[in-house]
Amino acid sequence: MDLAGLYNMPATDVAREMYFNVGGPHGFMRWGIYIFMFAAFIYLGVTLVKRILVWRQGKGELRTDFHEKRIMAFIKYVIFQVKVLRESYAGIFHASLFWGFAGLFVVTLIIVAQEDFTELFFHTKFIYGNFYLIWSFFGDFFGFVVLVGCIMAIYRRYVMKPSRLDTKPIDTFALVLITFIIVSGFLNEALRIAITDFPKFEIWSPFGYALAHLFGWASKPVLETSHYINWWLHMLTAFAFIGLVASDKLGHVAITMLNIYFQNLDNEDANTKYAMKVISPAEFETAESFGVGSVEEFTWKQLMDGDACTRCGRCQDNCPAHLTEKPLSPKKMINDVKDAMNERVPKLMEAKKAGADPSTVESKMLIGESVKEDEIWSCTNCAACLENCPVQIEHVNKINDMRRYKVLMEGDMAGELQTTLTNMENNSNPFGFGFAARADWVPEDLGLKTLAEDPEVDFLYYVGCYASFDKRNQKIGVALVKILQKAGYKVGILGAEEACCGDAAMRGGNEYLFHALATQNLETFKAYGVKKIITTCPHGYNVIKKEYKKFAKVGVGSDGQPLEADYEVYHHTEIIADLIKTGKIKLTGALNETITYHDSCFLGRYNEIYKAPRDIIKAIPGTNLVEMSRNHRKSFCCGAGGARMFIEEHLGTRINQFRTKDAQSTGATKIATACPFCLTMLSDGANELDIQNLQTFDLAEYVYNAMEK
């Protein structure tokens, strides 16, 4: 369709003069633009290089592999703003700013292509006629999108004032700068249209055309002077923006893109998601320090995280420790590490440059001054911060690295954790029971044998410490075994040969103990040729599925041979849901209760198992499933992860009580769990709050009771 033909004039006249009123395309002002452009990009480059040199003072870490996967992640999180848009209001205005600026960048690039290439070298123009009209419309459209985003951001920050935002002068400067660029751009357009007597085809710049009517009263000399001044103000602020996109608040424009590109790709796959870094056993022979006790001991990517943080507060808003008045705020912790980096690393660089001993550099202590000890021990490793951070900052590994330093280098930890780790070391369980009693929970009539008695099984049931020694959780183990037997599967256990999975040891900072426990279990799995493992504990499920396999690549067995992790791991909800779906078990007993399901952090966020537990509940006759306000990836922790199960909660509100109130508010009479920690914590929560009509059971118990016997 010939849109330009509607205006009864040559298509080449349906255009605008570039560098209008500022000297034309061959005037001095054009060279002024080049000067400012190069100055902006040089400043940007210098700023970015300085930050890179600071990050490089951290430890090495491979983040330059699998570029095709990194590009796909970049498209997902940067271009499509997947995580940003998980929150409606904040997501819309952030996406508006990003997509609007991206569109304006393309619009500007088209001008550059014509004025600095085709017209300059070949005396050929292409921005006219139909192309000009469409180009003009999209220029206005994208500018309007950015303006809407700015207005929404200003309203949110200065009127709504959510508590998670700590507004600083630099935040105001950034918003004012962006808003001025857009407003001055529209003013440029409006003044130009007014000066040129409102060409009809300029209606394709609808916002500028409408705004131009406000200037109909002014004389042309006034309009021209106003346009000239505004044009330069617009250009200078635009180039200032470019120069500052790697600095402070505006720095997240460039640095968050780098942070997303260099993210941990393991977090994109449920089979490896949020797995902890494993220290190689070889390091224990050579390294002088373990964990992170000083900021330069973080990796370069961990240091980059600090500069990438936008201080949006989504991590803080979803952190169970922060929401229950604990000292920990993931946002504050990341920025405190950044402050420590900015204070100490430049001094280290100067010391190295001068040939001085870096160990003599004085600065604030990382742990105890920059980051308080209560902060690192308040974390439950629930990964809500990781799940909600739109720029892929990795909070939990930093906390656990600092825990490793406190435990391995200083032997400093809560007394309860010290007892727990000692029990795990001596008796391979956190409770201190004799390891020989690990199979005493098995009723005589269950027909359940150890692999030592009969190694030919369909599944090894890795029982775990809770189902082995806690009487309440032993009922879950019995229920699961009976369900599997009913479905025709042969199940075995390891009994006294089963060691603690070591999850609490690793996340509690004792990597050395984790190595010992993982080695024992991996060697036992290999000895019996175990191929399929089923667990009732998401913590055991997660660590055997992920960290064991990472450890097997670097560890060696007691015989000096490489370890193996050649098996598949299943959580019992996955297996039970499949048994119901395939008809291998039938549920006929009606429950006639309203149930709410609590998503375990290590089953949900860590392994993305959300559907199977809910399918199980829906398959039980007479159940009415109601969701808590925080569910699926937004689920609230029970308070027991990250070794917190074995550390008394002294600060703020008890996390398990907070979550129990969530369950109570649904009106449910039953809570369904799929984790022994969660069952214990929520049962205790109901007792502590004296909630009478709210009982907690594991899904295996519900299924066994409803199952056709």
- The pLDDT tens digits for 561-595 are 999 999 999 999 999 999 999 999 999 999 999 99
Nearest Cα to 690, choosing from 648, 661, 650?
A: 661
> Average model confidence (pLDDT) for the chain?
96
Q: Which residue has the higher pLDDT, 217 or 336?
A: 336
Say what the pLDDT of residue 32 is.
81
Helix H or strand E encompassing 705: helix 699-706
Quickly list DSSP for 16-73: --TTTTTT-TTSHHHHHHHHHHHHHHHHHHHHHHHHHHHHTTSB-----S-HHHHHHH
- CATH architecture of the region 433-577: 3-Layer(aba) Sandwich (3.40)
Sheet of 491-493, strand order: 449-450, 491-493, 459-462, 532-535, 568-571
Please give the Cα distance from 182 to 163 (Å, whole number).
28
Please give the Cα distance from 292 to 398 (Å, whole number).
8
Say what the pLDDT of residue 389 is.
98
DSSP 8-state symbol, 498: P
Say what the pLDDT of residue 253 is.
86
Q: Please determine, for residue 219, whether its predicted confidence score (pLDDT) is greater than 90.
A: yes
Say what the pLDDT of residue 288 is.
87
Say what the pLDDT of residue 239 is.
95
Q: Convert 331-346 to b/e letters by CB count within 10 Å (16 or more is b).
A: bbbbebbbebbeebbb
Q: Contact, 541 vs 571, CB < 8 A?
A: yes
Q: Contact, 537 vs 675, CB < 8 A?
A: yes
Q: Please determine, for residue 2, whether its predicted confidence score (pLDDT) is greater than 90.
A: no
Which tens digit of pLDDT belongs to each residue from 611-669? 999 999 999 999 999 999 999 999 999 999 999 999 999 999 999 999 999 999 999 99
Average pLDDT over residues 363-378: 96
Helix H or strand E encompassing 450: strand 449-450
% the chain with pLDDT above 90? 92
Say what the pLDDT of residue 34 is.
87
Q: Please determine, for residue 30, whether its predicted confidence score (pLDDT) is greater than 90.
A: no
Say what the pLDDT of residue 311 is.
95
| Phi, then psi, of 562 in degrees rounded to 5 | -60, 145
Which tens digit of pLDDT belongs to each residue from 149-167? 999 999 999 999 999 999 9
Binning pLDDT at 50, 70 and 90, where does residue 306 land? very high
| Alpha helices by DSSP H, 114-165 | 119-122, 129-155
Sheet of 695-698, strand order: 623-626, 593-597, 670-673, 695-698
How many beta carbons lie within 10 A of that of residue 622, not counting itself?
11
Q: Contact, 495 vs 440, CB < 8 A?
A: no
Nearest Cα to 563, choosing from 521, 510, 501, 595?
A: 521
| Residues in CB range of 435: below 8 A, 6 or more apart | 427, 428, 429, 496, 499
Say what the pLDDT of residue 413 is.
94
Say what the pLDDT of residue 216 is.
85
| Phi, then psi, of 622 in degrees rounded to 5 | 80, 10
Same-fold call for 283-409 versus 433-577: no
% the chain with pLDDT above 70? 100
Average pLDDT over residues 249-259: 90
Alpha carbon 236 to its chain's center: 36
Beta-bridge mates of residue 568: 532
Binning pLDDT at 50, 70 and 90, where does residue 48 land? very high
Binning pLDDT at 50, 70 and 90, where does residue 74 land? very high
Binning pLDDT at 50, 70 and 90, where does residue 332 land? very high
Binning pLDDT at 50, 70 and 90, where does residue 1 land? confident
643: left (phi over 0), alpha (psi -120 to 50) or beta: left
Q: Please determine, for residue 25, whether its predicted confidence score (pLDDT) is greater than 80.
A: no
Fold classified for 283-409: Fumarate Reductase Iron-sulfur Protein; Chain B, domain 2 (1.10.1060)
Say what the pLDDT of residue 608 is.
98
Average pLDDT over residues 462-484: 98
Tokens of 482: 């009976």
DSSP 8-state symbol, 491: E
Average pLDDT over residues 348-353: 94
Beta-bridge mates of residue 583: none
Q: Please determine, for residue 29, whether its predicted confidence score (pLDDT) is greater than 80.
A: no
Q: Contact, 159 vs 175, CB < 8 A?
A: no
Q: What are the DSSP E strand ranges found in 588-659?
A: 593-597, 623-626
Segments making up each domain of the chain, as ranges = 4-18+70-260, 283-409, 433-577, 585-706
Tokens of 2: 């010939």
- CATH architecture of the region 585-706: 3-Layer(aba) Sandwich (3.40)
Q: Please determine, for residue 308, whether its predicted confidence score (pLDDT) is greater than 90.
A: yes
Please give the Cα distance from 664 to 660 (Å, whole number).
6
